[in-house]
Amino acid sequence: MSDLVLDASLALQWFLEDETGRQYGLSVLASLSTKRAVVPILWFYEVQRPSHGLPAQADHIGSNRRISDPTKGPSH
């Protein structure tokens, strides 16, 4: 079971410093160390649009997916 459902606009606040509500977005990000989250399948397409210029990439892991930051190396 999940604690949160994340949408793309919230996740983009983690990377785009001028986004309105960024502090809230960062607090949600910090809470993910103790909570579980799910995202709609469309989220991966919205977050990875080339126009955003973000360093994130989607990794497929079985039926689960996670977002990783390639600048931080592999995550487990």
List the pLDDT tens digit at each of the 76 positions of the chain. Answer: 678 899 888 888 888 888 888 999 999 999 998 998 888 888 888 887 655 555 555 444 444 555 555 445 555 4
* pTM for the model: 0.58
Q: Residue 18 belongs to what domain range?
A: 4-72
What sign has the CA pseudo-torsion 27, 33, 38, 40?
Answer: positive
At 52, list the tokens.
């955003």
User: Token digits for 15?
Assistant: 């990377």
Number of domains in the chain: 1
- Report the amino acid identity of residue 20: T
Separation between Cα atoms, residue 14 and residue 25, nearest integer Å: 6
